[in-house]
Structure formats: C-alpha cells, structure tokens
Amino acid sequence: MEVVIGPAPELGRLAADAIALLLRAQPDAVLGLATGSSPLVVYDELARRHDEEGLSFARARAFMLDEYVGLEEDHPERYRNVIDKDIATRVDLAPGAVQGPDGLAKDLVVACRAYEEAIAAVGGVDLQILGIGTDGHIAFNEPGSSLASRTRIKTLTRQTREDNARFFDGDVDKVPTHCLTQGLATIMSARHIVLLATGRGKAEAVHQLVEGPVSAMWPATILQHHPHVTVLVDDAAASRLQLADYYRETYLAKPAWQGL
C-alpha cells in the first residue's frame, strides 16, 4: 500500500495522472467511480484535461460503487444523477458507458446479481476510485460487512446518514436508510485502487485503513490484502498516521517514472 500525503489539488492531479496513463495505454479501460466529496478534485482535473488537453473517455466504460435504494429517478442526490453531474457529462463518456446498481429495481436481489455479472462481463475494473467514510466504510460496506461480500443491499449506519445529511438539506431523515453497494470482494477485484481522503474527520479511518488490524469493524482495512492500493491523503487526514514521516520520505525518494 502506497501512502501519498499532499494538498488536495495535488492529490487530484496524481489520481488523474494514473487515469490518463491508463486511458492512453488502454482506451477501452474500465473505471470504477465513487460518489461524494472526496473524488471531486479528481473529476475536476479529468474534466479540465478533457477540455484543455483532449483526454478522451470515448471508449472507456465505468461502474459506480453504490446507489441509494428508493430515490426517485430525477432526485438530485440519486448517485446515478450525481455521477452524471460530477463527471460523466463533463467528459466524452459514451451514452450507456456508465453503469450503476439499480436502486429502483423491483427485485433488488436480482439487480445486485446482474450488476456483478455486468462487471465480470467486461473483465473487471482496471482502476477504482474510492473515498472512505468516517466509520471506515468503502462504498457502503459499513462496519461488520463481510470481507468476502459481493454487491448486495445494506442498511446505512446512523453515522453515515448523519455524514451525508449535508447533501439532503442537513436533514438526516431525508437520507435513505438502505443502499445497494459493491461488496468488499467486488472492490478487491479491481486491479488498481486509488483511495482519496481529506480532512481531520477522516484521520482515524485512514489510520485504521493503513496501520490497523484487518477487521470487519473497519471495512477499508481489507485493502491491506490488495497488491496495488494508493492512498492519497491531505495533512489533516494523515494526522493520525504513526508512520507519516516514513510515507513522506518514501514518496519524495520515488522516481517519477514509477507513477502510482
């Protein structure tokens, strides 16, 4: 696991570099897209490169991590609409190139199985962007999630609903109670995982993710078993890392040609 500590715009550029490199080598690459605040610096940088440098997503495909259950089709906080607004419509992703779990499906169990099959059908995700919850969730795999889980329905914790109330007029009761989410094993199947975290509120989760024991109580710790994970954090999110100085020195000494 590589840990890079820097200011948020720099983290966004690093993640965008990795995606641009991938798309140049493999224009039909499969991207994994997270929703929320953390990836916005990446999406802004990708949109800028698309506009100003011709970075093309025309042949790429993308899969979302998760979706609220029951938010109506045109609800602005439905993750499908958020992803369209934050990235899909800002670049040249083809219509239909982005898929997400169907939180409005009549049969949610069938929808989850179909989603796993859709990811497998394109050969899996090449590069997955992740955020992390204050309780250590990735996607919506809340504490106690099976480390071997696949896409399924989950109940959001009170903490996550409070964290996300800022997107629902500050009203926790407007935040849905259920979601469909890729499982931890689904996420672990991605070939490269780039996780972003900023702000002091994420410091404990980042410490557990990088330095804590692997445990379902901090679901992100499963990433310690993945061979290619990049953790991009600002100073505040890195503030509880015991080996922060070591990570800084290691990154400073890293040859530029290595990339992430």
As annotated, the active-site residues are 66, 135, 137, 142
Measured from the CB atom, is 56 or 189 closer to ligand F6R? 189
State the number of binding residues for ligand F6R (CB under 6 A).
14
The sheet with strand 98-99 has its strands ordered as: 2-5, 229-233, 192-197, 127-130, 30-33, 61-64, 98-99
Q: How far is the CB of 55 from ligand F6R (least distance, A)?
A: 22
Cα-based angle 63, 65, 106 (whole degrees, multiple of 5) = 90
Pick from 23, 55, 66, 101 the residue near ligand F6R by CB under 6 A.
66
Measured from the CB atom, is 4 or 41 closer to ligand F6R? 41
Distance CA 163, CA 30 (A): 29
Measured from the CB atom, is 174 or 248 closer to ligand F6R? 174
Restricted to residues 115-134, the positions that interact with ligand F6R (CB under 6 A) are 131-133
Distance CA 231, CA 9 (A): 15
DSSP 178-202: EEEE--HHHHHTSSEEEEEE-SGGG
Would you count residue 65 as binding ligand F6R (CB under 6 A)? yes
The set of residues, in sequence order, having a beta carbon less than 8 Å from that of 58 and lying 6+ positions away, is 27, 92, 93, 94
Q: How far is the CB of 139 from ligand F6R (least distance, A)?
A: 4
Would you count residue 38 as binding ligand F6R (CB under 6 A)? yes
For residue 11, which of 2, 207, 162 has the smallest C-alpha distance? 2
Binding mask 131-150 for ligand F6R (x = CB under 6 A): xxx---xxxx----------
Would you count residue 80 as binding ligand F6R (CB under 6 A)? no
CB atoms under 10 Å from CB of 216, counted, come to 17
Would you count residue 35 as binding ligand F6R (CB under 6 A)? yes
Pick from 34, 98, 112, 229 the residue near ligand F6R by CB under 6 A.
34
Would you count residue 32 as binding ligand F6R (CB under 6 A)? no
Residues binding ligand F6R (CB under 6 A): 34-38, 65-66, 131-133, 137-140
